[in-house]
Amino acid sequence: MALYPLPIAKWAVAGVALVFFVVLPMVLHEYYLSIINLVSIACIGALGLNILVGYTGQISVGHGAFMSVGAYTAANFAVRLDAPWPVNMLAGGLMAAIVGAIVGIPSLRIKGLYLAIATLAGQLIIEWTINHVTFISGGVQASIEVPPPELFGYRLASQTQMYFFLLAFVVVAVVGTMNLVRSRIGRAFVAIRDQDIAAEIIGINIFRYKLLAFAISSFYAGVTGVLYTYYLGVANYEQFQINVSIDYLAMIIIGGLGSVLGSIFGAIFVTLLPIVIRLSMESFGGYLFSDAAVRNIIPNMRLILFGGLIITFLIVEPEGLNRLWRNIRSYFRVWPFAY
Amino acid sequence: MRRVLAILIGLVLVAGQAGPVGATHEIVIGLQCDRTGATQTVGVNLCPGYHDYIKLVNSKGGVEGHKIKAIEIDHEYKVPQGMESYERHKKEGAVIIGVYGTPHIYALAQKLTEDRIPGTSPGFGSAAAADGQRYPYIFPIAATYWSQGAAAVKFAKDQLGGNLKGKKIAYLFFDNPAGREPIGVLEDIAELEGFQLRTFAVPPPGVEMGAQVLDIAQRYRADWVITHLFGRSPSVSIKELKRVGFPLRKVVGMVWGAAEADVEAAGGWSVAEGYNAMQFAGVGSDYPVLNEIRAMYKKEGQEPPKQMSSTVYYNRGVLIAALHVEAIRNAVKDKKSGNITGEDAKKGFEKISNFTLGGLVPPLKITPTDHEGGGVVQIFSVKGGKFVKATEWFSAYSDIVAKHIKEAKK
């Protein structure tokens, strides 16, 4: 399958790149860039999880922990060895990949819900280990401060600088995933997802590819953890607990399993929705309620609306936002001559 | 995706501009809150207390004529939302950030210093942040976990007859970084005082501690129990200790296991009779500032908010707001225009001393080197259906705490 099925796609990609690399940083306040930064980090994590869950059909409830593995590996490299960030990032990603592959071993025997529980155990064991082994966590507080990344002698500390830094990784992750899924490896993943016995019969080494899926997916998670660490300036295990794993699963389910664009949609949706709901409630809530009531209502309404919208979207389109987007696109492709 | 993003960004932009344009002399404070997340029992009472004090200050004409605007953002105790709220506060020009949550203060430590905005972490966060030289823009402004642990031992010593030699103290804690933080200090004091210390970890989510409590009461046979628990677990600890027959008057809970809600969830005031709770703000409704708030509501023809009856967290909200306003007041004294920056507010914090608000605020003395203000607490005991003051404001073993702060620097 070609990367650009239609000629217009090339222009669209160029346009989008222009918007994100030139226009947005020029017109947006740093605050909005900081929101995009959070989305960027979530995008990479969601892409990684989608390779495992969406493409290979294995489930993982341990991605939060894999992120923490990456984060602490990089933080230890940065503080103890004084290594530059590319080294830390690679080390964090690889360490997460190794740990992910180990946690993925049960996937060779068990599937579905049972595998979910096995990876959940992985999450809890990793959390416990980081929490208690001070060699990894750097002390009782289990947090390691990391200096900001440097590029050609410049410290990347402000949100605008971070924006470009993170965006570059999003581009690499998106292009990498798109190419991965149309390669031999990606096709093997899809074959395993659709019917693993059949896949084995046509000569796919299930053992190898299942573990590879876990490793690649965890590599993405590890890099996400490292990026998050550099974004905050600190590695802290409380930022990678079980609810993070669940959030990322929610992203790819809402966005669309087994699609690159879906992962991005999901990351945007889950990260932005609470913020958008709050900002709009702040603007309009004052007309209906008193100040003190608004303050109490906003956070609760946000949870209700967030849950409600997720259910609505899933009922309207169970295959996720990506399918919704494709429907819109194919409608306009033949517009105004609908059949 | 791009279209959706464009629409969303557009919405955000519209919403951001729809807010009222602030007057030039309005001083902005950013307040993080958790009314819906893991620690929502705290937020629902603490945040209204904060806003009521700000309202009171504004109703009296503000600080030297400058009104104060507190922007609250609920982050559900999640770090990404906390980051977003920080950037939003920064955009709105906040000169002080009331950070809420231990992971959040860790995550924001670098940014606050970089942006030169003081952030407060009363009663939580890293104890090492008391060192104002190392963390110039972080202000615990209340006793850290190290000072709390030290004060708990001091209280035990006084209650057990002034000598701890050969006594057994059990430390029952939530197994996370915050829970483990005081252990080093406790061990050092144990060596100094010659008592035996054993730690009992409660794994998250902390609602199951039957085995640990049984161990404390029947195998270890502790003379005293210090508990350091969060969320739902303090109430479970009270219930379990009561069940195995351990006298609750020999139990002291640190500041996040010390509220009316914990006692009520444990089965009511009669169950918890005797339980000692550590506080960094005064408890009860008998303080002049609370009377003023009630009078303010009365003048408006409204009932005082029902959150006021949860005095532990409500009063802490008032305390945090009062210290923020006091820092601003100190800063405005030097800059009459009211156009103060985060740096001015930082200096304002470092001038706080002898500001007690009629006993609700401890006698803090915050200096450029000590951002904790002395680490003072008060103990209240459950007696006859309410919290009764058991000690005056005190701090303990300051030299040991200071030693740990110094060591953390390395």
Q: Which of A223-227, A273-277, B363-367 shows the lowest per-residue confidence on average (mean pLDDT)? A: A273-277
CA-CA distance, A102 to A121, in Å (whole number)? 12
Q: Å from B34 to nearest chain A CA? A: 8
Q: By the 8 A CB rule, do A145 and A233 touch? A: yes
Q: Which of B2, B12, B67 to mutate to test the interface with A (most CBs of A within 10 A)?
A: B12
Whether A307 has its CB under 8 Å from any CB of chain B: the answer is: no
Question: Average pLDDT, whole number, for chain A?
Answer: 89
What pLDDT digit, counting tens, does each position of A176-195 carry? 999 999 999 999 999 999 99
Could you give the ipTM of this predicted complex? 0.87
Pick from A4-8, A35-39, A228-232: least confident: A4-8
- The span from the CA of A317 to the CA of A328, in Å, is 12
Percent share of chain A, pLDDT over 90:
54
Sign of the CA dihedral A209, A215, A216, A218?
Answer: positive
The closest of B261, B321, B340 to B49, measured between CA atoms, is B321
With both helix axes pointing from N to C terminus, report the angle between A242-255 and A321-333 in degrees, rounded to the nearest 10: 20
Is there a contact between B75 and B343 (Cβ–Cβ < 8 Å)?
no
**pLDDT tens per residue across span B151-196:** 999 999 999 998 999 999 999 999 988 899 999 999 999 999 999 9
- What is the CATH number that goes with domain A7-333? 1.10.3470
Task: Identify the pLDDT of residue B6.
Answer: 56
Secondary structure class of B13 (helix, strand, coil): helix
Exposure class string for B179-206: b at 16+ Cβ within 10 A, else e: bbbbbbbbebbbeebebebebbbbebeb
pTM score: 0.88
Q: What six digits make up the tokens of A202?
A: 């046509």
Amino acid at B287: Y
Chain position carrying tokens 């532990």: B312
B231 or B32, greater pLDDT: B32
Sequential DSSP letters for B369-401:
SBSS-S--BEEEEEETTEEEE-S-SB---HHHH
Q: Rounded to whole angstroms, how far apart are CA atoms B203 and A142?
A: 16
Kindly state the tokens that stand for B296: 């303010």
pLDDT, tens digit, 9 for 90 and up, residues A47-58: 999 999 999 999
Beta strands at A143-145 and A234-236: parallel, antiparallel or unpaired: antiparallel
Other C-beta atoms lying within 10 Å of the C-beta of residue B269: 17
Task: Please check whether residue A57 is in contact with residue A270, taking contact to mean a CB–CB distance below 8 angstroms.
Answer: no
Cα gap A26→A164, rounded to integer Å: 12
Q: Is the pLDDT of residue A4 over 90?
A: no
pLDDT band at B229 (very low <50, low <70, confident <90, very high): very high
Q: How far apart are CA B403 and CA B406, in angstroms?
A: 5
When pLDDT is cut at 50, 70 and 90, the band that residue B4 belongs to is low
CB contact under 8 A, B74 and A298: yes
User: Which residues does residue A331 pair with via DSSP β-bridges, in sequence order?
Assistant: none
Q: What pLDDT does residue A69 have? A: 96
The reported pLDDT for the residue numbered B17 is 47
B333, containing H or E segment? helix B311-334
Report yes or no: B7 and A30 within 8 Å, Cβ to Cβ.
no
Q: Which residues of B touch A34 (CB under 8 A)?
A: 83-84, 87
Residues present in chain A in total = 339
pLDDT at A307: 86
Residues of A in Cβ contact (< 8 Å) with B79: 232, 238-239
Closest-CA distance, A192 to chain B, in angstroms, reads 29
Check CB contact under 8 Å for B9 and A143. Answer: no
What are the pLDDT digits (tens) for A106-118? Answer: 988 888 899 999 9
Tokens describing residue A220: 């993405």
Interchain proximity A159–B107, CB inside 8 Å = no
Residue B265, CB half-sphere, CA atoms under 13 Å: how many? 15
The C-alpha atoms of residue B347 and residue B327 are separated, in whole angstroms, by 8
Q: Are A104 and A58 in contact (CB under 8 A)?
A: yes
Query: Domains of chain B: which residue ranges?
Result: 25-143+284-359, 145-279+377-408
Q: In this complex, is the C-beta atom of A30 within 8 Å of any C-beta atom belonging to chain B?
A: yes
According to the model, what pLDDT value does residue B5 have?
Answer: 53
In chain B, which among 160-189 make CB contacts under 8 A with chain A?
175-177, 180-181, 183-184
Neighbours of B2 (CB within 10 A): 12
Question: Using 50, 70 and 90 to split pLDDT, how confident is the model at B18?
Answer: very low
Q: Give residue B42's identity as a one-letter amino acid code.
A: V
Q: Does B76 touch chain A (CB under 8 A)?
A: yes
Type of residue numbered B175? D
Residue A278 has pLDDT above 50, yes or no: yes
**DSSP class of B197:** E
Say how many residues make up chain B: 410
The residue ranking higher by pLDDT, A279 or A34, is A34
The total of other beta-carbon atoms located within 10 Å of residue A104's CB is 26
Task: Tell me the domain boundaries of chain A.
Answer: 7-333
Q: Which of these, A56, A9, A18, A80, lies nearest to A206 by C-alpha position?
A: A56
> Which of A280-294, B112-126, B370-384 has the least mean pLDDT?
A280-294
- Least confident residue range of A48-57, A326-335, B372-381: A326-335
Q: Which residue has the tokens 């046979």?
A: B221
3-state SS, one letter per residue, for B204-237: CCCCCCHHHHHHHHHHHCCCEEEEECCCCHHHHH
In DSSP terms, B173 is beta-bridged to B201, B228
Of residues A32, A38, A321, nearest to B80 (C-beta): A38
Phi-psi group of B357: left, alpha or beta (phi > 0 → left; psi -120 to 50 → alpha; rest → beta): left
Q: Does domain B145-279+377-408 have CATH number 1.10.10.60?
A: no
Q: Which of B29, B32, B76, B79 would best serve as a mutation to test chain A binding (most A beta carbons within 10 A)?
A: B79
Bond before A86 cis per omega within 30 degrees: no
The whole-number average pLDDT for the span A298-316 is 85
Note the CATH number of domain B25-143+284-359: 3.40.50.2300
B113 and A CB contact within 8 Å: no
Per-residue confidence (pLDDT) for residue B19, from 0 to 100: 40
CA distances from A10 to A3, A5, A15, A16, A327 (A): 9, 9, 9, 10, 20
Q: What is the pLDDT of residue B410?
A: 61
**pLDDT range class, residue A99, cuts 50, 70, 90:** very high
DSSP state of B350: T
Q: Hey, is B52 helix, strand or coil?
A: helix
Q: Say how far apart CA B287 and CA B285 lie, in whole Å.
A: 6
- pLDDT tier at A264, thresholds 50, 70, 90: very high
**A299:B305 CB<8 A:** no
Q: What is the mean pLDDT of residues A188-203?
A: 93
Query: Considering chain B, what is the average pLDDT of its residues?
Result: 89
Best CA proximity match to B59, nearest among B323, B285, B288, B297: B297
CA Rg value for chain A = 21
Most A CBs within 10 Å: which of B54, B74, B99, B117, as the mutation test of the A interface?
Answer: B74
List chain A residues with CB under 8 Å of B111.
Answer: 232-233
Q: Are B155 and B276 in contact (CB under 8 A)?
A: yes
Instruction: Give pLDDT tens digits for B76-109.
Output: 888 888 999 999 999 999 999 999 988 899 889 8
The domains spanning B25-143+284-359 and B145-279+377-408 adopt the same CATH topology: yes
What does the pLDDT read at residue B20?
41
B306-318: average pLDDT: 91
pLDDT exceeds 60 at position B400 = yes
Whether the link from the prior residue into B234 is cis, omega within 30° of 0, is no
- pLDDT for A117 equals 93
Which of B9, B72, B107 shows the shortest C-beta gap to A239?
B107
Distance separating alpha carbons of residues B304 and B313, to the nearest angstrom: 16
Beta-carbon separation of A141 and B51 below 8 A: no
B28, two tokens? 């902005």
Contact B328, B96 (CB under 8 A): yes
Give, to the nearest 10 degrees, the angle between helix A159-181 and helix A30-50.
20
Which positions ≥6 away from B237 have C-beta within 8 Å?
Answer: B172, B202, B209, B213, B227, B229, B251, B253, B257
Give the confidence band of A339 by pLDDT, cuts at 50, 70, 90: low
SS (H, E, C) chain A: CCCCCCHHHHHHHHHHHHHHHHHHHHHCCHHHHHHHHHHHHHHHHHHHHHHHHHHCCCCCCCHHHHHHHHHHHHHHHHHHCCCCHHHHHHHHHHHHHHHHHHHCHHHHCCCHHHHHHHHHHHHHHHHHHHHHCHHHHCCCCCEEECCCCEECCEECCCHHHHHHHHHHHHHHHHHHHHHHHCCHHHHHHHHHHHCHHHHHHCCCCHHHHHHHHHHHHHHHHHHHHHHHHHHHCEEEHHHHCHHHHHHHHHHHHHHCCCCHHHHHHHHHHHHHHHHHHHHHHHHHHHHCCCHHHHHHHHHHHHHHHHHHHHHHHHHHCCCCHHHHHHHHHHHHHCCCCCC
- The reply to whether A264 touches chain B by the CB within 8 Å rule is yes
What part of A 182-211 touches B (C-beta under 8 Å)? none
pLDDT in tens, A138-171: 877 788 888 888 888 788 888 889 999 999 999 9
SS3 of residue B329 by DSSP: helix
Strands in B237-396 per DSSP E: 251-253, 276-279, 378-383, 386-389
Q: Which of B343, B378, B352 is nearest to B140 (CA)?
A: B352
| Cβ-defined contact of A131 to B175 (cutoff 8 Å) | yes
Distance from CA of A201 to the nearest CA of B (A): 38
Q: How far does the CA of residue B320 sit from the closest CA of chain A (Å)?
A: 18
Q: Which of these ranges, A195-204, B24-33, B196-205, has the smallest mean pLDDT?
A: B24-33
How many whole angstroms separate alpha carbon B165 and alpha carbon B150? 16
